Amino acid sequence: MVHTSLGGDRLRIRLTNEFATTPLHVGEVHVAIRSGTGADTDARPGTDRRVTFGGQRSATVPAGAPLVSDPVSLSVRAGADLVISIWLPDRTPVTTLAAFAFQENAIAAGNVTGATRITASSTITQYLFLSGVSVHGGAGAVVTLGDSITNGANSETNANHRWPDLLAARFRKARIDRGVANVGVSGNRLLHDPNPPAGDPAETFAAYFAQSALRRFDRDVLAQPGATHLVVLLGVNDLGHPGTVAPPSEVVGADDLISGHRQLIARARQAGLRTYGATILPFKGDTLGFYTPENERKRSALNRWIRTSGEYDEVIDFDAAVRDAADPQRLAAAYDSGDHLHPNDAGMAAMAAAVRLDGFQQP
């Protein structure tokens, strides 16, 4: 179940085998408009389309590679939900996935890719082997590069309350014809790949944090079809992971983070993207062990640079939008999901509301 931002008359689906060492055999893929909402998996009758790859219904995705489909003729309204069904005819280990989708998806037995209704054998809140949907239409796409806060952590499952979803809804209401591509990854860092200490419980899940933003930038940002704008919200995990789920040797300073942000700006501008820097949210008292007075000093220094340096084309002050007026180092209670780090649904809405829309109306 995939929530779209932009409407159009045809689409492409992007599969991925980019973190595998063996080829991926895909037997068949279908796409349809979803008839319901939430966890409903039913497809709207008459909207089912077979997806082909070079004119073929089946495909083999080489190890380390993505696979982009042929164009699929399907009228998709802005904000619609799609049902994308992938049949794996062989026993297939999951090697490439989005681990935290905040959307329930279904696994069923056999090839049911063309079925309007299925009986699920299990449900998951991950996206397996699916990395994107691009809809033809509009004036381009805004790519939101970030960590768990951009990915939607602690927002309501099946509700599409991630702040990029809510920003896309604001675009539709304001008749701004741009899509939003959310490439936030929970646990992601700007400067370092996952590196849990030997014997640490994080060894079982740290790989889900993805390669550093600097390393994945070309694949996850520049390769997005029609990308015109980039929003960056990164740095909190660079501060909080060393000493918790990464070795203390990976402690970074504010200057290190600023240098990383400058690299993103330079690479985005080479590709013609307009850049937006977002301030890091407060996290005093967080339950993950990120907060220290020194990390707060680094956060403040990074935010000051984002606000005042003029190096980003625009600034989005998420910090100001969600902080506690009485204690600005904390999330406001009304926006706190409970861990004092991630916003709740109201906090996500406050973040989306903090984005000025006028810059996105420019060519």
User: What's 160's DSSP letter?
Assistant: T
- pLDDT digits 0-9 by tens, 109-139: 999 999 999 999 999 999 999 999 999 988 9
Q: What's the pLDDT band for 93 if we cut at 50, 70, 90? A: very high
Q: Are residues 105 and 227 in the same domain?
A: no
Q: Are residues 169 and 290 in the same domain?
A: yes
Q: What's the pLDDT band for 39 if we cut at 50, 70, 90? A: confident
Place of tokens 């060519």: 363
User: What's 360's DSSP letter?
Assistant: G
Q: What is the rounded CA–CA span in Å between residue 243 and residue 249? A: 8
The average pLDDT across 204-230 equals 97
Mark which of 99, 132, 165 sits at the end of a domain: 132
Mark which of 81, 97, 132 sits at the end of a domain: 132
CB 54 within 8 A of CB 85: no
Mark which of 106, 132, 158 sits at the end of a domain: 132
C-alpha atoms less than 13 angstroms from C-alpha of 250 in its C-beta half-sphere: 22
Q: What's the pLDDT band for 361 if we cut at 50, 70, 90? A: confident
Q: Are residues 97 and 184 in the same domain?
A: no
Average pLDDT, the chain: 97
Q: Are residues 189 and 166 in the same domain?
A: yes
- pLDDT digits 0-9 by tens, 10-29: 999 999 999 999 999 999 99
Report the candidate in 85, 142, 125 with the shortest Cα–Cα distance to residue 208. 125
Q: What's the pLDDT band for 363 if we cut at 50, 70, 90? A: low
pLDDT at 362 over 80: no
Residue 210 dihedral angles phi and psi, to the nearest 5°: 75, 165
Q: Are residues 126 and 172 in the same domain?
A: no
- Which tokens go with 271? 């590709």
- pLDDT digits 0-9 by tens, 159-202: 999 999 999 999 999 999 999 999 999 999 999 999 999 999 99
Report the candidate in 176, 156, 223 with the shortest Cα–Cα distance to residue 360. 176
The average pLDDT across 276-297 equals 98
Q: Are residues 244 and 266 in the same domain?
A: yes
The average pLDDT across 295-317 equals 98
- pLDDT digits 0-9 by tens, 59-80: 999 999 999 999 999 999 999 9
Q: Are residues 126 and 142 in the same domain?
A: no
Q: What percent of the chain has pLDDT over 70?
A: 100
Q: Are residues 55 and 144 in the same domain?
A: no
Q: Are residues 119 and 142 in the same domain?
A: no
86: which strand partners?
A: 29
Q: Residue 83's domain spans which residues?
A: 2-132
Q: What is the rounded CA–CA span in Å between residue 278 and residue 280? A: 7
Q: What pLDDT score was predicted for residue 288?
A: 97
Q: Are residues 74 and 155 in the same domain?
A: no
Q: What is the rounded CA–CA span in Å between residue 234 and residue 39? A: 30
The average pLDDT across 263-270 equals 98
CB 74 within 8 A of CB 68: no
Q: What is the rounded CA–CA span in Å between residue 350 and residue 149? A: 13
* Amino acid making up residue 164: P
Q: What is the rounded CA–CA span in Å between residue 204 and residue 289? A: 19
Q: Are residues 22 and 118 in the same domain?
A: yes
CATH number, residue 182: 3.40.50.1110
Q: What pLDDT score was predicted for residue 181?
A: 98
Count of structural domains within the chain = 2
Q: Are residues 146 and 52 in the same domain?
A: no
